[in-house]
Structure 1
Amino acid sequence: MTYTPPLRDIALAMKAAGFDDLIELFPEADHATVEAVLDGAGAFAADIIAPLNRPGDLAHATYANGKVTAAPGYAAALREFAEGGWNSLSAEARYGGQGLPKALEIAVFEMFNAASLAFGLCPILTQGAIEALAAHGTTEQKAKYLPRLISGEWTGTMNLTEPQAGSDLAALTTRAEPDGEGGWRITGQKIFITWGDHDAADNIVHLVLARTPNAPAGVKGISLFVAPKRILTADGKAGAPNELRPAGIEHKLGIHASPTCVMVFEGAKAELVGVEGQGLAHMFTMMNAARLQVGTQGVAIAERAYQQALAFAHERRQSRSAWTGESPAPLWDLPDVRRTLMLIKARTAAARGICLATAVAADQAHHGDAKAKLREELLTPIAKGWSTDVGVWAASEALQVHGGMGFVEETGAAQHYRDCRILPIYEGTNGIQAIDLVGRKLSMEGGAAMTALVSDIRETARALKGDLGGVGDRLGAAVDAMAAGADWLSARKGTPDALAGATAYLKLCGETVGGWMLAKQAHLDSRMGPLATLYAGQVLSGVPGQLAAVTQGSAPLEAFEG
């Protein structure tokens, strides 16, 4: 149940994802600083957060008398997290941030989430609130909220969905009405609010979607508001309670230490953020930040599950070794078990690479690189969708390595599976990510984003041709399928045929781009060679055949009567 931060793997993935290209943009992110940050984060994750994971799963966050109490140890750890400056890595220096690359923050947050997914969710939401307010808040709002959110003194939430709405935000009914004093009053109910209430911070800053009077129906009638748990005093401190409260917490499959709240707003004082009627567009700043972070959570849980399954495979003895003849031999000496573990590690490294490459592009885009912005936009649904699917798959396969012992709670393998099953649902289900990919991202700038990505992958495939046991050839065939799928889908944009092939295409893209990232890692470090070779034979080899699922069309769906 211990966790060892994979510092060498993370550093390699950062390099393969292009992190060195950021040093010119972030001079303070020199190699010594990056190494020190990674080392410190790894120690905090392993020593402070990880020991809370299993006890938090058993004890749960609790709700009583209108208040939420974090699972034992979590409030103290979150305060220590804030005191250590871990919440401020990529934030702007003028508001108290350290101004380091987003890619470094993503690398660090992988370790925090691997230590405890329930813990990592709280700062992830705070990071999203910081980015939304930094992008769309007024000068006064930034001055009031950003310093304390960045320091971690306060935490943030995202209040979108409602009982009748689910992912259909056009169905939101929470309303905001002018208070006659330049502010607003919010009334309504929100559900599934992660860390919506707790005792780990002095204040909680809620970002809330609501409808203003006479707003049009649909998403164009939605505006974004900031409503703190405690109303700010004249000197900017947390003062009297606002008219909002948790009505309870959800009883969930996993992440028991993370309080998922039903939040009730009863005329809560709030401020408009950005432009009235542009709330969904503004909220997408927060959602996109969260999508990359949730993708990284998929990487994190895959790594954590792998480490536990690997340790079990070395300790557990049964059957005869296929290589030495020893009997009973460690499970590690059974070819199918070793294949399973290697594939978990390979897919984890591939997903890690995608998330870090997305973050590198985001850092470059922040500094005005238009091509990098296209790359970030294109990779985000793949990073979120494919990486979270990898997390669930890895947790399931790691449980399988344990056999029947994995199905019993005492080993802890089941917790990883229970905890991560939410990830493909969070921040827009993976079906929504697929629709975003084929409906919006493929057509950006006339398809320039996908064209550039295909070109880069083909360049790597050509460079590796005949190397690493055929990795280059497999990668080349896979990227050809990715390009062909993009052409087919783009020609049918918005049709049922394109929508029917969206999920299959996201999977195809994830496996191809992941294979590219893994190949680049293997090119830099020979110890990754066996993983890249196995991935090419077991995963990339099947990608061209997936094109049939992408291009099948919607006729079978339309004909099915249920």
Structure 2
Amino acid sequence: MPTYSAPLEDFRFLYHEYLDLEPCRSLPSMAEASSDLIDAVLDEAARLAQEVLQPINAVGDIEGCRYQDHCVTLPEGFGAAYKQYIENGWTGLTTDPDYGGQGLPSFLGLALSEMINAANPSFSAYPGLTHGAYEVLHAYGTDDQKRRFLPPMVEGRWSGTMNLTEPQCGTDLGLIRTRAEPTDDGRYRITGTKIWISAGEHDLCENIVHLVLARLPDAPAGTRGISLFVVPKFHVGEDGSLGERNGVRCMGLDHKMGMKASATCEMQYDGAIGELVGEQHRGLAAMFTMMNAARLVTGIQGLGMADVALQNAQRFALERLQGRSLDGARHPDKPADPIIVHPDVRRMLMIGRASVEGARALGLYTGVQLELEHHHADAEVRENAGHWVALMTPIIKACFTDIGSDVANLAMQVHGGAGYIVDTGVEQFVRDVRITQIYEGTNGVQALDLVGRKLVAHQGRTLAAFFQHAAGLLDSIGDEEGMSEFATPLAESLERLQATSKWLYGEMTRDPLEAGAASSDYLRLFALTALAFSWTGQAFAARRALAAGRGRPAFLEAKLATARFFFARMLPETLGLDAKVRAGGATLMALDAEQFRPD
């Protein structure tokens, strides 16, 4: 059966050697976040993931969720694990102390998110969605709503969801039909059907706080006519106490390829009482607070699932005996060599390692910018950090979830026939991670967001944020001995990305279809360049740590070797991607739509 070991040494390297936390030192969230505290949180999160959550992951996949009479029961062990999760304060790790949270920085929360997603991605859906709903209410709720809803959500006694999708619409939310009728007391009656609602019903909490998109009677058409409402499963009194059941029911569970212990529900609202969140007809803007946070977390989910798949592939490759090394037997005392000796197995493992470690560093770097955007006293610092976060959100969501699926499939390939057998547990990784490329906006939608919005946002300042950070890194490196093997290809990739971005912008203004034709390849090109930025920074940090005698030399040398693999074997893909972007959309659009009809 699969196992999981939290990558604590890598996390500590990133927090203490790679990341520049100095700009965050003055933030309230850093008041208690000493190096010792960060290490303690990482240790406890690792223990939770390894000892509590990972052992029930396979159980959740086998048993799945059970539906009966509008109620959902989670698999064995999930209730006890959730009880331990909330009793240890994990739901409040990064939330506002005014509502019972610990107020620690969001970039520390990303490490927790990676570990629990690696250990048990189905379990992670419940606290993850609650945190997203918390962020929306914290940002847009009235003082009264925050007073009544946030403390029990922070405590973990109540959970949260977001209700967007309907049978007739997914990404195109302008087509939603759920209605909100005003009542005499200033509240609303919500009527409609929502589908694919993660954690829409379960037996973990006292109450479930649904955030629901709906239309008022006088709403304009399209996305400009959408409002947001908070609709609790049980009515909430003025003192925060629970009342009668609201008019919302789970009508069934979806039967899915993976993530089977995450309850994906059809929710029926039949005159359910809700309260407006934010302004009328401005609900989509408020919900994007949750969606953008969810997209970052979904990227981290893909990363965590890639890591656990890679770990199990590495263990298998060290133990599985098959054939002999091409240059002669490495273990003549055994009937065969372990498959780790074979170059193609090494290729698959190194792709996984370079992808996971590069993504982890990029994700945490973005977490630091997220903290600056939300809490720094200087408006210019907040704005610049916000540009980075906005730009990286679609890249992280798409790239990291692609990594998750790619590495899980490589892990199955390393296992050979054993990987296809349920008993080894590897095929669960492939099934579970596949949804991450689809939900919270498909990766194709993320690519369109990058090209159609972020490429041109704020007169180019959003795009420029990445190049400014990369230029700052190269300036810091300067002529540092031994760094040219990393800095030079990064500089060349930056020039290529700038030129491609400029060319694509010109083509888009001529023909908007060119944006769609180029978008996925452009995002991949951008993502690899961002990973090159990440790996250059890690190599720089590893060399400085080695020179100063900090850290374990074997770990740091492995970090440099993995960086070299990335630059030699993965970054060159940008050359082909540049050509594919510039190939234009003519060959994509050449066939008439009817020529795709199979009959």
TM-score, reference length from structure 1: 0.97
Other structure's SS at 1:423 match: helix
- State the Cα distance separating 1:493 from its structure 2 match: 4.1
Question: Counterpart amino acid of 2:340?
Answer: W
Other structure's SS at 1:97 match: coil
Question: Counterpart amino acid of 1:540?
Answer: L
Question: Counterpart amino acid of 2:499?
Answer: A
Do structure 1's residue 383 and structure 2's residue 396 form an aligned pair? yes
Q: Hey, what does 1:496 align to over in structure 2?
A: 513
Quick one: structure 1 residues 507 and 39, their matched pair in 2 at CA, closer, same or farther if it must change by over 3 Å?
A: same
Question: Is the contact between residue 301 and residue 391 of structure 1 (CA under 8 Å) also seen in structure 2?
Answer: yes
Question: Counterpart amino acid of 1:444?
Answer: A
Distance 1:275 1:166 in 2: 23
Q: Hey, what does 1:198 align to over in structure 2?
A: 202
Q: 5 Å matches for 1:231-242?
A: 231-242=235-246
Count the aligned residue pairs.
Answer: 562
- State the Cα distance separating 1:464 from its structure 2 match: 7.7
- More displaced 10-residue stretch of structure 1: 303-312 or 511-520: 511-520
Q: Hey, what does 2:550 align to over in structure 1?
A: none
- More displaced 10-residue stretch of structure 1: 277-286 or 542-551: 542-551
- State the Cα distance separating 1:381 from its structure 2 match: 0.8
Other structure's SS at 1:231 match: strand
Do structure 1's residue 16 and structure 2's residue 18 form an aligned pair? yes
Unpaired segments ≥5 residues, structure 1: none
Unpaired segments ≥5 residues, structure 2: 377-381, 543-555
Q: Hey, what does 1:46 align to over in structure 2?
A: 50
Q: Hey, what does 2:62 align to over in structure 1?
A: 58
Question: Counterpart amino acid of 2:581?
Answer: V
Q: 5 Å matches for 1:343-382?
A: 343-368=351-376, 369-382=382-395
Other structure's SS at 1:328 match: coil
Aligned match for 1:179, one of 177, 180, 183: 183
- State the Cα distance separating 1:548 from its structure 2 match: 1.6
Distance 1:128 1:492 in 2: 37
- State the Cα distance separating 1:363 from its structure 2 match: 0.4
Aligned match for 1:518, one of 535, 543, 546: 535
Q: Hey, what does 2:435 align to over in structure 1?
A: 422
Q: 5 Å matches for 1:334-349?
A: 334-349=342-357
- State the Cα distance separating 1:235 from its structure 2 match: 2.4
Question: Is the contact between residue 378 and residue 441 of structure 1 (CA under 8 Å) also seen in structure 2?
Answer: yes
Aligned match for 2:169, one of 160, 165, 172: 165
Q: Hey, what does 1:549 align to over in structure 2?
A: 580
Quick one: structure 1 residues 323 and 504, their matched pair in 2 at CA, closer, same or farther if it must change by over 3 Å?
A: same
Q: Hey, what does 1:539 align to over in structure 2?
A: 570
Question: Is the contact between residue 148 and residue 239 of structure 2 (CA under 8 Å) also seen in structure 1?
Answer: no
Question: Is the contact between residue 464 and residue 471 of structure 1 (CA under 8 Å) also seen in structure 2?
Answer: no
- More displaced 10-residue stretch of structure 1: 444-453 or 72-81: 444-453
Distance 1:89 1:65 in 2: 35
Other structure's SS at 1:555 match: coil
Question: Counterpart amino acid of 1:2?
Answer: T
Do structure 1's residue 508 and structure 2's residue 525 form an aligned pair? yes
Question: Is the contact between residue 61 and residue 71 of structure 1 (CA under 8 Å) also seen in structure 2?
Answer: yes
Distance 2:328 2:23 in 1: 46
Distance 1:227 1:309 in 2: 44
- State the Cα distance separating 1:483 from its structure 2 match: 1.1
- Larger CA Rg, structure 1 vs 2: 2
- State the Cα distance separating 1:485 from its structure 2 match: 2.1
- State the Cα distance separating 1:484 from its structure 2 match: 1.5
Distance 1:500 1:109 in 2: 34
- State the Cα distance separating 1:24 from its structure 2 match: 2.9
Q: Hey, what does 1:247 align to over in structure 2?
A: 251
Q: Hey, what does 1:189 align to over in structure 2?
A: 193
Q: Hey, what does 1:473 align to over in structure 2?
A: 488
- State the Cα distance separating 1:122 from its structure 2 match: 1.1
Render the CA deviation track for 1:335-364: whole Å, top value 9, x for unaligned: 111121111011011111222122111100
- More displaced 10-residue stretch of structure 1: 183-192 or 452-461: 452-461
Distance 2:162 2:33 in 1: 30
Question: Is the contact between residue 323 and residue 333 of structure 1 (CA under 8 Å) also seen in structure 2?
Answer: no
Question: Is the contact between residue 486 and residue 539 of structure 2 (CA under 8 Å) also seen in structure 1?
Answer: no
Structure 1 residue ranges (4+ consecutive) displaced by more than 4 angstroms after TM superposition: none
Distance 2:57 2:456 in 1: 42
- State the Cα distance separating 1:523 from its structure 2 match: 2.1
Question: Is the contact between residue 468 and residue 532 of structure 1 (CA under 8 Å) also seen in structure 2?
Answer: no
- More displaced 10-residue stretch of structure 1: 25-34 or 321-330: 321-330
Question: Is the contact between residue 354 and residue 563 of structure 2 (CA under 8 Å) also seen in structure 1?
Answer: yes
- More displaced 10-residue stretch of structure 1: 195-204 or 345-354: 345-354
RMSD: 1.6
Distance 1:249 1:543 in 2: 42
Question: Counterpart amino acid of 1:80?
Answer: Q
Distance 2:324 2:514 in 1: 50
Question: Counterpart amino acid of 2:464?
Answer: T
Q: Structure 1 vs Structure 2: percent identity of aligned residues?
A: 42
- State the Cα distance separating 1:41 from its structure 2 match: 0.6
Question: Is the contact between residue 148 and residue 238 of structure 2 (CA under 8 Å) also seen in structure 1?
Answer: no
Question: Is the contact between residue 133 and residue 161 of structure 2 (CA under 8 Å) also seen in structure 1?
Answer: yes
Q: 5 Å matches for 1:320-331?
A: 320-322=324-326, 325-326=329-330, 328-331=336-339
- More displaced 10-residue stretch of structure 1: 455-464 or 94-103: 455-464
- State the Cα distance separating 1:460 from its structure 2 match: 3.7
Render the CA deviation track for 1:237-273: whole Å, top value 9, x for unaligned: 2221111010001000000111100110011010000
- State the Cα distance separating 1:22 from its structure 2 match: 2.2
